Structure 1
Amino acid sequence: MKAVIFDIGNVLIQWDPHLAWLDEMGSREAVAEFLTRIDFPKRNLRADGGEDFADLAAELEDADDQRRLSSYVERYAMTVPHKIEGTWRLLHRLKEQGTPVHAITNWSAETWPVGVGVHPELGEVFGVTVVSGQEKLLKPQPEIFRRLCDRADLSPQNCIFVDDSPRNVDGARAVGMDAIHFTSPQAFEVALTARGLL
């Protein structure tokens, strides 16, 4: 039986880091300038790989930038307010018909518990969940896909992986998984149906 392996951020849960500081800074433009100035995507990826936000903030020269980034974990709940309901409906259809569902997510070990606090179902719905920050591995590294397979007792050939990042989709394919680039719940449903899973 095929198993479906889900990415979470922007597949099941909307994530918008601007929302962490929007109340303080007053506009998305101001937050965007801050995120660009501190190279937030690169620092956030390092956190996803296991580093702490306090250490990442300490590298910054500007005191206000340090303070803002060091407050990210306590503000994190604001960045993940909404589920992507269409994807959740598909996930539950898969589960109801007996398809195993698991997850591999690039997510900080510090912010993952906050995300589960906002969306408790994340901690309940999957058979196996591999969180990059806890493993100190990142998609698309081959080992993170192999770790999921080991823990779920699956071969890569029996996995269908879905992610909104083309790089991660390519990484899954490189270890032998089928993979779907997520663009919308509707397109995902078409892809699952074409594979005979729905």
Structure 2
Amino acid sequence: MNDVITTVVFDIGNVLIEWNPEHLYRRLIPDEVERADFLQNVCNMNWNLEQDLGRSWAEAVDTLCALHPDKADLIAAYSDQWHEMIPGEVSGTRQILQELQEKNTPLFAVTNFSNEKFAECLVRFPFLKTSFVDTVVSAEERLIKPDPRIYQVLFNRNGLEPGTCLFIDDSAANVEAARNVGMQAHHFKEAHALRQDLKNRGLLTN
């Protein structure tokens, strides 16, 4: 039988704020095939994850521009126009966050994020700074989900018991990793389903 959940742990990207490079590159590279090639073979997810592991954006852009000088402007735009990839909050989840706060539920976050861009998001979305007891940022720890060690940082730093924590993430791999270290978890797809799960678990009433 599962432990009683006392604590909720949120992912941030695509749970609380939307992030998708397509929002920027649909404008910069209108051709769908050309855009897909660029995002798969130039500014791809593996390259982006290095920033989530702590590499600076200046180094990331310089390194990739040296390999693809003909695409230097498009590569630089990934950092310089990064906020165009984030059109705003994910619909409905901030309201859930606020309702959990009103019930005095301890809230935490574990996020794969670069230091530089996370600092900018705290300015743009102040609720990310005020909602959580603690936020574990991958670039600060040089660990990224689904590495189980990043969850251990959360537990050790805050004295949390994994079984009493509900983890919410849009990545199936991150959810599985959380369960493997003893957390309960919700694979996020949209706010209505999350709200229903929280009601079923007794964490929300409406």
TM normalised by structure 1 equals 0.91
**1:175 and 2:171 are equivalent in the alignment:** no
Q: Which residue of 2 aligns with 1:159?
A: 165
Do 1:107 and 1:132's aligned partners in 2 also have CA atoms closer than 8 Å?
yes
Q: Which residue of 1 aligns with 2:96?
A: 90
Q: Which amino acid aligns with 2:166?
A: I
Report the Cα distance in structure 2 between the residues aligned to 1:83 and 1:94, rounded to whole angstroms: 17
Q: Secondary structure at the match of 2:81?
A: helix
**1:7 and 2:11 are equivalent in the alignment:** yes
Report the Cα distance in structure 1 between the residues aligned to 2:123 and 2:34, rounded to whole angstroms: 28
Pairwise CA distance, 1:158: 1.5
Deviation track 1:61-96 (CA, whole Å, cap 9, x = no partner) reads 221334432342221111112101311111111110
Identity between Structure 1 and Structure 2 (%): 36
Q: Which amino acid aligns with 2:24?
A: A
Report the Cα distance in structure 2 between the residues aligned to 1:6 and 1:18, rounded to whole angstroms: 24
Do 1:108 and 1:133's aligned partners in 2 also have CA atoms closer than 8 Å?
yes
Q: Which residue of 2 aligns with 1:131?
A: 137
**1:16 and 2:3 are equivalent in the alignment:** no
Deviation track 1:36-63 (CA, whole Å, cap 9, x = no partner) reads 2215111111221112233333145221
**1:47 and 2:55 are equivalent in the alignment:** no
Pairwise CA distance, 1:144: 0.7
Q: Which amino acid aligns with 1:2?
A: T
Question: Which residue of the other structure, out of 91, 98, 103, is the alignment partner of 2:109?
Answer: 103
Report the Cα distance in structure 2 between the residues aligned to 1:26 and 1:48, rounded to whole angstroms: 27
Do 2:53 and 2:143's aligned partners in 1 also have CA atoms closer than 8 Å?
yes
Q: Secondary structure at the match of 2:88?
A: coil
TM normalised by structure 2 equals 0.87
Q: Which residue of 2 aligns with 1:36?
A: 40
Alpha carbon RMSD of aligned pairs, Å?
A: 1.9
CA spacing shift, 1:138–1:97, aligned 2, 3 Å: same
Gaps of 5+ in 2: none
